[in-house]
């Protein structure tokens, strides 16, 4: 399985953004042109490994690392998601801006995504177990990727199964500096 990263201000996301992409050739301007590189990379992955082995992570709404999605972010996102859906890739992994203080996606937006992408949809962001369960029950997502919650709870699966309290996260230790924050969280 290969997950392409077209999110968080990295290269493929920069091509999608009308703010960072100032090109005047076939890769700039319209949403179709700005999405071209992403779709070419997806198509190359499909050719090499098959659509069932390709997933993609996107952050279609909000601003990440000074890369925003422009004034038509929802329409642009839905164009890309529809094109990805037509390719039958393995899954769509959507990172929400709420992990960095932004607004979570609305249910109305999630319904539009679901109408365009019929494969598994993975959510990521400031998910609590309750939020994850509610959105899965509504059929708006199929799974959740817990990143920071896993760092703070190496036994996250057991905690979720038992509905146990989660350890508080210590964000200041997430990105380096020895074992503190990686190996010292208590387990059940």
Report the length, in residues, of the chain. 188
Cα–Cα distances in Å, from 122 out to 2, 13, 65, 164, 173?
15, 18, 22, 23, 26
Taking the C-alpha atoms of residue 106 and residue 138, their distance in angstroms, rounded to an integer, is 13
Active site residue 79: no
Q: If you ran DSSP here, which 8-state letter would residue 168 be given?
A: P
Question: Which residues are CB-neighbours of 11 under 8 A, at least 6 positions away?
Answer: none
Which of the residues are catalytic? Answer: 10
């Amino acid at each position: 399985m290969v997950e392409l990263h077209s999110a968080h201000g990295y290269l493929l996301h920069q091509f999608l953004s009308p703010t960072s992409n100032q090109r005047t050739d076939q890769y700039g301007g319209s949403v179709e042109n700005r999405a071209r590189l992403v779709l070419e990379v997806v198509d190359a992955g499909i050719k090499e490994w098959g659509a069932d082995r390709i997933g993609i992570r996107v952050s279609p709404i909000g601003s990440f690392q000074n890369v925003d999605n422009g004034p038509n972010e929802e329409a642009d996102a839905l164009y890309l998601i529809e094109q990805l859906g037509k390719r039958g890739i393995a899954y769509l992994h959507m990172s929400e801006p709420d992990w960095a203080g932004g607004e979570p996606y609305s249910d109305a937006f999630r319904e539009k995504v679901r109408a365009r992408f019929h494969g598994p949809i993975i959510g990521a962001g400031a998910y609590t177990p309750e939020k994850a369960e509610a959105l899965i029950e509504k059929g708006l997502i199929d799974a959740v990727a817990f990143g920071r919650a896993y760092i703070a709870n190496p036994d996250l699966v057991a905690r979720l199964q038992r509905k146990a309290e989660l350890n508080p996260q210590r964000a200041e230790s997430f990105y380096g500096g020895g074992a503190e924050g990686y190996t010292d969280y208590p387990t059940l």
